[in-house]
Chains A and B, each alone.
Chain A
Amino acid sequence: METLRTIFDIFMTTYPGFLEAVVITLELTAISVVLGTVLGLFFALMKISNSKILQGIANLYITIIRGTPLLVQIMFLYFGITQLIILDNFWAGAIALGVHNGAYIAEIFRGAIQGIDSGQTEASRALGMTNNQAMRRIVFPQALRRSIPPLGNQFIITLKDSSLVWMIGVAELFSVANRSAASSFKQFETFIVVGFYYLVLVMIFTYIVRWYENRLDVDKA
């Protein structure tokens, strides 16, 4: 009972700061989701192209990103790239998250595109479409629809992974919570509160993805 009371008090006193931090978390997530989707599409197309060189580049990127921890990538980008160009820690974090996501999203797109029945391409070509037209008009729209559940999943992972950029001092949700916990000495209660924030965000996100999925499915195969 005493703990519940403390949790509630912490919630009431921290929410102005926490909500500000939520905005940063959402900004980080949004930027890295957009960047990751663009990179993912780009590398997926490279991977299914006929060029061995493009395939090689895409494979290298995916292997490196999937083979190293996100935290290492954040640190590498922050300390590595910021020596070359001026980049504030927010952007360094957002780009690191985006580049990280790109590798996973590339695999989501690649799988979805290759999962479309080859008869679809054949029928398109038989009608006189070029390979590009067949991809753009017939294969990709179907692949995109199939990508939405795994993409939604990946976006949720991104939202949670954005907490890792507290390491480079971005004032996102986890970072603000961590500071608050340290100054109030109520670590346990504070992290329950911050967990609750993430949980609510993820639930809202899940709901949006599910709604979008259902909307696309109406009447279609």
Chain B
Amino acid sequence: MIIGENIHKSFGDLEVLKGIDLQVKPQEVVVLVGVSGSGKSTLLRCFNFLEEMNSGKITIDGHTINPKKDKLANIRAEVGMVFQHFNLFPHKTVLENVIEAPLIVKKMDKEKAKQLGRGLLEKVGLADKAEVYPSKLSGGQKQRVAIARALAMEPKVLLFDEPTSALDPELVGEVLQVMKQLAEEGMTMVVVTHEMKFAKEVADRVIMLDKGVIIEDADPKTFFENPKNERTRQFIQLVE
């Protein structure tokens, strides 16, 4: 579904990604872990070209992207993203947040978009909040709206950048629940998270990034019980 080959990214002198190869199959849930600064968020942002790679190749659904020639906006429309800080549009209601991109990017008919939006809000359990503004929502509710907003573009892949890190502990569960449901429905997902329980229960593969390289790539059971790399072992001890 999405293939990254030999991805390099530097910020000035700091090389954040040192040649990453990562292949995500359709319907697969891949969890990226690593200490902060390991490059996991940057990798995620390279996948939808919010971050410009220095070199490397990304193939989405069989199409190798040429960032110079292809319209990046069209590509991003196929790769949904959920952010740590939600980034909802505060001047728009919950429903308007969800239908903004279908209306503007896909030029969808307004009634059709509203119908789609209401359906998605129902899916994330917020049908009754359609007309309120984001400022009236809890963090967990905001993140669920953000997920509905990303789903509204019917993306082929959904990227999650630490979706629960900004939430109060008691609100984490409701967001993970929605993500778990999406995974069960067969959504292809790449998730950067510190929620090891989610990795264990939902992920098909867990990948450990360290100093810009992948040092562990295994199914959750092997990853947590029998990791190859010493750094991975230390990391697991640290977070558990």
Query: In the complex the two chains form, is A128's CB within 8 Å of B105's CB?
Result: yes
Chain B, interface residues (CB within 8 Å), range: 20 to 34
Report the minimum CB–CB distance from B209 to chain A (whole Å).
Answer: 21
**B67 close to A (CB within 8 Å):** no
Given contacts A127-B153, A129-B73, A220-B90, contact A122 B135 (CB under 8 A): no
Nearest B-chain residue to A218, judged by Cβ = B133
The DSSP consensus for interface residues of chain A is helix
In-complex Cβ contact of B100 among A117, A122, A130, A137 (8 A): A137
Query: In the complex the two chains form, is B90's CB within 8 Å of A142's CB?
Result: yes
Total number of A-B contacts with CB less than 8 angstroms?
72
Given contacts A137-B104, A219-B133, contact A128 B74 (CB under 8 A): yes
Residues from chain A with Cβ under 8 Å of B83 in the complex: 119, 122-123, 126
Given contacts A128-B101, A137-B104, contact A122 B87 (CB under 8 A): yes
Given contacts A120-B89, A138-B89, contact A128 B135 (CB under 8 A): no
Chain A 110-143 near chain B by CB (<8 Å), digits 1 or 0: 0000000101101101111110010001100110
**B191 close to A (CB within 8 Å):** no
Report B's interface with A, CB cutoff 8 A.
48, 50, 73-74, 76-81, 83, 85, 87-91, 100-101, 104-105, 132-136, 146, 149-150, 153
Chain A 191-221 near chain B by CB (<8 Å), digits 1 or 0: 0000000000000000000000000000111
Query: In the complex the two chains form, is B89's CB within 8 Å of A128's CB?
Result: no
Report the minimum CB–CB distance from B103 to chain A (whole Å).
Answer: 9
**A179 close to B (CB within 8 Å):** no
User: How far apart are the CA atoms of A36 and B79 in the complex, in Å?
Assistant: 41
Report the minimum CB–CB distance from A218 to chain B (whole Å).
Answer: 9
Most chain-A CB neighbours within 10 Å: which of B73, B85, B134, B149?
Answer: B73
Given contacts A122-B50, A137-B104, A219-B136, contact A128 B73 (CB under 8 A): yes
Residues from chain B with Cβ under 8 Å of A120 in the complex: 87, 89
In-complex Cβ contact of B104 among A119, A122, A125, A133 (8 A): A133
A-B contact pairs, 23 of them (CB 8 A): A117-B87, A119-B83, A119-B87, A120-B89, A122-B83, A123-B83, A123-B146, A125-B73, A126-B50, A126-B150, A127-B76, A127-B101, A128-B74, A128-B76, A128-B153, A129-B73, A130-B73, A133-B105, A138-B89, A142-B89, A219-B135, A220-B133, A221-B134
